[in-house]
Structure 1
Amino acid sequence: MNELKELWLKYNEYTNKLSEVLGRTSNIVGEYAEHLALQYYGGELLPASEKSADLTGPKGKLYQIKARKLKTGTTSQLGIIRSWNFDYLVVYLFGYDGSVNYALEYPVDVAKEYAKQNDHQNDTLLLQLRNFRRSKGKEVKMKTPIHAINRFKKRIGHEITESELQELNELIINDDECVELVKWRRGNDISVYKINWQGLEFYAIYFLTEYRIISFRNIEDEVHEDLGEYWREHDMQKLWDKE
């Protein structure tokens, strides 16, 4: 009974912390999806009262963000559409453990194919998750550091926080003395750095275009001759399950 009480208190503690950090509405799943979309597209989140869109991108495109956290084997209503005054619908599906199973972007004309009239509210339309076809959506690759953090734990054998990952990014950007460029070729957007940090030595795979680390390799691992191999390796971590 005490264990159950502790779990309940912990649940509320972390739920409240998430609400405070996201700071917009009580819909934590939806707010977190909007946070991920903002990291990916850039731009600005619109007020929560805005009916037609959740995010305006740097080029003025409007994005409606929908998300669901599902248990294994279940389907669910994805959300309600009150206005089609947006350019893209972005769908995030979170797994039982909270990880992103997939994230897809649909042009508004494609999204309309999946909408049906809401019998309870005549001025709204329903989006059913089971109706969506992944093949018609464009993959939204995460720019969150989750993949890199997981790679560090798996390949280097230690855990790092998001702030520590950012510290490693800054070491590369600032050309710190603990960082050594190992591999780079003109025309490639990937480079490989050897880093000596906190008593650990490892390779960091760095995406030059966005100034961020995308993965790590153990110092004993061979550095790919073809830097494109790192993208192919990175893309093996799909954001959705296979059809």
Structure 2
Amino acid sequence: MTTVTTRTVTYPADGLTMVGHLALPAGADRRPAVLLGPEGPGLNDFQRRRADALAELGYVALAFDLHGGRWFTDPQEMLARVTPLLADPDRMRDIGHAALDVLRAEPRTDPGRIAAVGYGTGGVIALELGRDGVDLRAIGTVNGLTTGRPGEAARIRCPVWAGVGSEDPIMPAAQRDAFAAEMQAAGVDWRLVVYGGALHAFHHPSVDQAVLPGVGHHPRHARRAWRDVVGLLAECLPVTE
């Protein structure tokens, strides 16, 4: 296994002090980098381990924060913060840009080779960075298939991969169709994978319906979605480029 170095990074965003998790691959050379966004409750050890796994593959990876170091366990408290955030593209972009600045400032990062991957709210932020015209090599979003402001998807400059559960009531078929229509109209190189039988947040091992209706872990599809994300990066952001 490749030796990975990790450290906590703090930075300001959205009026908070964000607490991110930076994972570096072995060596001293510049590497392609991945900005990794967490789901609505915030950054936890699951996404930190995802950043570590990306570093083992040779990427510089920053798992960014949404809530100033908090992980929400109360669904209503989480929704009270996340719902207005999701309705405000500029706030989401500010959070994404602040993390992106940290990632770009890391000496190991090749600033011309960065991808953004996110889950839920983090995936929506990755899309908003694309709609803001950020130079990314790839965008991946799992469970975060929102549409943006009219016409702004045309500013996306890279392939977009999206994954969602077929039984996700938070991202239902109508939302999937709207997302696909937006990407297609904008001329984006896009893909959408629908994982049969999966609910919202199917990728996350600790969620169930008791946390929030319509969420649930699907281990098989969680593994498949991770392989699909890694495949997207291998195609669009190869470590050996």
Q: TM-score surpassing 0.5?
A: no
Greater CA radius of gyration, 1 or 2?
A: 1
Which one has the bigger strand percentage? 1
TM-score by length of 1: 0.24
Which one has the bigger helix percentage? 2
